[in-house]
Amino acid sequence: MPKQNNTPAIDPLYLAKERAALKRCHRKTINFNQRELAVIEEYCRLNKISAKGPMMRRIIMEKLLGELGQNPPTLF
């Protein structure tokens, strides 16, 4: 007797909405001086990172979310 899958299916509209919410559509630009760029390049070389955008996004978001967790916004 085959095992029945009793878990409900996820609504396709919900999945589409979630995908749309995660789409990156806002562009920001950062300028670095020569020393900063040299540090970034060396870090990427040592850690064999070829895609710098995702690395920078992760580092920035970890920093911001960590600080928000330590200092939550207040209403008053």
> Which pLDDT belongs to residue 22?
87
Contact 52, 58 (CB under 8 A): no
55: burial class by Cβ within 10 Å (0-12, 13-18, 19+)? middle
**How far apart (Å, rounded) are the C-alpha atoms in residues 11 and 66?**
32
> Which pLDDT belongs to residue 58?
95
> Which pLDDT belongs to residue 3?
67
Which parts of the chain register pLDDT below 50?
Answer: none
What is the maximal distance between C-alpha atoms in the chain? 67
Phi first, then psi: what are they for 26, rounded to 5°? -110, 120
Q: Each residue of 25-34: pLDDT tens digit?
A: 999 999 999 9
**How far apart (Å, rounded) are the C-alpha atoms in residues 35 and 41?**
10
DSSP-assigned letter for residue 7 = S
